Structure 1
Amino acid sequence: MSVWDSIVGQKPTVELLSRIVESPAEIAQSWLICGPPGSGRSNLARAFAAALECPNHGCGECKTCRQVLAGSHPDVSVLATNKVTIGIAEVRDLVEKSEQMPGTAPWRIIIIEDFDRMMERTTNVLLKDIEEPAEHTIWLLCAPSAQDVLPTIRSRTRMVNLAVPGDQAVARFLETETGADRHIAARAARLAEGHIGIAKLYATNERVMTDRDTLVVGVLNLGRASDAVLLADQLIGDAKAQAEEETNRDVKREQAEFRRINGLDPEERIPTKIRGAYNAIGKKDDVRRRATRRSRDVLDRALNSIASIYRDVTVLQNNAEDAVGLVNKENRTAIADLASRLSREAAVWRLDQVNLARRRLMGNGNPLLVFEALFCSLIA
């Protein structure tokens, strides 16, 4: 099993990076991996790092590959954040680490996920190291698109652009990775619209799928302002509950991993000397911050689901169903009825309203008010 096996729908890019790994003499030391949310850019960066460090160019079976993919290899550092922006102190730590020689592998590799969350003054800390990396250091920066990164960074990196994975490729991945039934995998892939992480969530979490179905039906049945207010309140409540559930699950998994690393049984008392580090995993302020961030992710996912309704409307209005298909096949009758009642301009205007709601959320608008306003604007 190769480290590339988990990369979905990116065959040309995988072939390119595989060739580079096998002949690394002239390898670029600063990379910018771009792809839309859910395309797997972070997974690709980890696979690339594992292949570069592996003596067998990414066999997927050796200790090196397993450590890199698990995030525990001493020469591969990954900076990911649940915050809105990446802090300057975190970046300075990485710069310091990048100047150290690798301990056990050929390269010191630094992966920065969500590089687009880095403020300009923070990015400036990296400029020199990106342009002239230490001899044995490779930087892998991940962002949604080149436009989300400052030109000064773009000009100093080799760029890789990822495609949106097709539904069939995502469905096959879900069947293999999660053991999902073929029909569930196919539906999850279709509703996720190429986002691998969301597809996996739909395939494995019945509550998330049910909440999406409820939202789509609610939007299609909007008739009065009171409907909009009730639907917004339900959505915010569902988002909060989903976020808290996912965050608590993450905390439990991290606590279990902490125990495993320190050789402790599940119920064994935490020794005093490491109790502080253990308690920090479930610190209330951190858990609340992570839940808030997760809640915003759920709401962003809801906006994608709402947009898919009006995408389907425009598909039917333009007689393009045979060519591109519908996302919300289960709701075709209601969507066809809506398509007959809206003009093409009205459908596009509603997509613009979804984008406006997204911008308001990104600007820290009150989520409940943002969705009340959005749902009111969608009433046909």
Structure 2
Amino acid sequence: MSVWDSIVGQDRVVEQLKAVAGGDPSAITQSWLICGPPGSGRSNVARAFAAALESPDHGMSDEPTAVTRQILAGTHPDLTLLATDKVTIGIDEVRDIIATAEQTPVTAPWRVILIEDVDRMLERTTNVLLKEIEEPSAHTIWLLCAPSPQDVLPTIRSRTRIVNLAVPTQAAVSRFLQERDGVAPSLAQRAARLSEGHIGIARMYARDDQVMSDRDELVVGVLTLARASDAVLLAGRLIDSANAQAAADVERLAAVQEADFRRINGLGEKDRIPPKLRGAYHAIGKKDELRRRTTRRSRDVLDRALNSVASVYRDVAVLQNDAEDAVGLINLENRTAITELSARMSREQAVRRLERIAVARRRLAGNGNPTLVFEALFCSLVF
């Protein structure tokens, strides 16, 4: 399987990047901005492109080379990955990565610097990066990822080659789940539909019955909001669910990191950690770090919940505009309740509710108290 086979619904971009990776190295653009909405796979595209640039087979062999496997795992010495769970990427992190970018590649043709979520940089931090993007070292390629070009400062946009990704179709996501993860067709189709083209969320729905069940309960809760007390109770259940999901995700991640630490250092599952490694080992499970990760994951769950709530009023608008045959419904399981709501609610009222969801998203992104944000939102949705 070639490195590109894991990319879903981006045929045009894949052909473009294949041609670049297999072309004249002296003609390659050295600074790239890969843009796509959440779930479009921009980070996966960036890693596949990095593998194609670094591997002797340009990522085209059916059997991945050792270089390709290392790049995709993030362990190749000439790949430097900067990702963060924080709200912003710090200026010291960027200065460190710039120092790395100046170094000559160890084994591969290029030193590749991949920065996920470059939109999380403040302007001062971006200015530190600017000169390197404008005049990269001779053997360095920068791959920056962001939701859209507009999320990045114009000074960065103007100095990079922009690649825009599309939202994968439901059919493409469903096919991916069936072929790559062995998901049953009916479940794959439902997970793809409910994820609205977000590959990561589709895989989550297909793998985790509880996450799917939580979404179902949220949609039913929104459709049955009749009084302020319903809104408060629904907000409380949502926050509890988000915190539980986040804690479980972080616990799993910490376990994986601990296992990787042991493997890298040649330690068995039951072996004692040598004194000289204990500091690094215990840093994986530091309370402050786990708390920060849990908060970040909880916000991700709540952001996903906002998408689910918005999908209800999106479906209402679809029915009100007789567009079901053209674009379909997301919440097919709730079609009867949504049809009834679309008959009782005016088009203006449906649009206003979508606007209120957008306000809640901005408040949440601005570190608003999640409980208060969702209580206010759900109270405004009562009909």
Regarding TM over 0.5, the answer is yes
User: 2 CA distance for matches of 1:196 and 1:364?
Assistant: 26
Q: Which runs of 5+ in 2 are unaligned?
A: none
User: 2 CA distance for matches of 1:153 and 1:61?
Assistant: 33
What is aligned with 1:306?
A: 309
Q: Is residue 19 from structure 1 mapped to residue 29 from structure 2 by the alignment?
A: no
| Residues 116-195 of structure 1 aligned to structure 2 (within 5 Å) | 116-195=119-198
Q: Which amino acid aligns with 1:48?
A: F
- How far residue 270 of structure 1 moved from its aligned partner, in angstroms, is 0.9
SS at match of 1:194: coil
Cα-to-partner distance string for 1:323-375 (whole Å, 9 max, x where unaligned):
10000000000000000110000000000000010011111111101101100
SS at match of 1:36: coil
Q: Is residue 97 from structure 1 mapped to residue 90 from structure 2 by the alignment?
A: no
- How far residue 176 of structure 1 moved from its aligned partner, in angstroms, is 2.2
| Residues 251-270 of structure 1 aligned to structure 2 (within 5 Å) | 251-270=254-273
| Residues 108-123 of structure 1 aligned to structure 2 (within 5 Å) | 108-123=111-126
What is aligned with 2:351?
A: 348
- How far residue 177 of structure 1 moved from its aligned partner, in angstroms, is 2.5
- How far residue 37 of structure 1 moved from its aligned partner, in angstroms, is 0.6
- How far residue 226 of structure 1 moved from its aligned partner, in angstroms, is 0.4
Q: Which amino acid aligns with 2:275?
A: T
Q: Is the 8 A contact 1:113 1:142 kept in 2?
A: yes
Cα-to-partner distance string for 1:104-144 (whole Å, 9 max, x where unaligned):
00000000000100000000011111000000000000000
User: 1 CA distance for matches of 2:280 and 2:206?
Assistant: 34
User: 2 CA distance for matches of 1:268 and 1:249?
Assistant: 20
Q: Is the 8 A contact 1:4 1:14 kept in 2?
A: yes
User: 1 CA distance for matches of 2:174 and 2:81?
Assistant: 28
| More deviation, 209-218/271-280 | 271-280
> Among residues 72, 78, 89, which one is paired with 1:75 in the alignment?
78
CA RMSD of aligned residues (A): 0.7
User: 1 CA distance for matches of 2:363 and 2:129?
Assistant: 30
User: 1 CA distance for matches of 2:102 and 2:225?
Assistant: 58
- How far residue 267 of structure 1 moved from its aligned partner, in angstroms, is 1.3
Identical residues among aligned pairs (%): 68
SS at match of 1:169: helix
Q: Which amino acid aligns with 2:10?
A: Q
Q: Is residue 233 from structure 1 mapped to residue 236 from structure 2 by the alignment?
A: yes
What is aligned with 1:366?
A: 369
User: 1 CA distance for matches of 2:286 and 2:187?
Assistant: 37
What is aligned with 1:198?
A: 201
User: 2 CA distance for matches of 1:343 and 1:35?
Assistant: 33
User: 2 CA distance for matches of 1:123 and 1:166?
Assistant: 33
Q: Which runs of 5+ in 1 are unaligned?
A: none
Q: Is the 8 A contact 1:312 1:326 kept in 2?
A: yes
Q: Which amino acid aligns with 2:288?
A: D
SS at match of 1:147: helix
SS at match of 1:32: strand
SS at match of 2:114: strand
User: 2 CA distance for matches of 1:268 and 1:167?
Assistant: 46
Cα-to-partner distance string for 1:33-57 (whole Å, 9 max, x where unaligned):
0000110000000000000000010
What is aligned with 2:37?
A: 36
Q: Is the 8 A contact 1:178 1:204 kept in 2?
A: no
Q: Is residue 87 from structure 1 mapped to residue 90 from structure 2 by the alignment?
A: yes
Cα-to-partner distance string for 1:148-200 (whole Å, 9 max, x where unaligned):
00000001000000000000100111112222111111101000001111111
- How far residue 244 of structure 1 moved from its aligned partner, in angstroms, is 0.2
User: 2 CA distance for matches of 1:177 and 1:117?
Assistant: 31
What is aligned with 2:46?
A: 45
| Residues 275-290 of structure 1 aligned to structure 2 (within 5 Å) | 275-290=278-293
What is aligned with 2:2?
A: 2
Which stretches of structure 1, 4 residues or more, deviate above 3 A after TM superposition? none
User: 1 CA distance for matches of 2:269 and 2:210?
Assistant: 28
User: 2 CA distance for matches of 1:268 and 1:182?
Assistant: 43
Q: How many residue pairs were aligned? A: 380
SS at match of 2:37: coil
User: 2 CA distance for matches of 1:180 and 1:247?
Assistant: 25
User: 2 CA distance for matches of 1:339 and 1:136?
Assistant: 58
Q: Which amino acid aligns with 2:339?
A: A
User: 2 CA distance for matches of 1:103 and 1:204?
Assistant: 39
Q: Which amino acid aligns with 1:79?
A: L
TM-score by length of 2: 0.98
Q: Is the 8 A contact 1:114 1:143 kept in 2?
A: yes
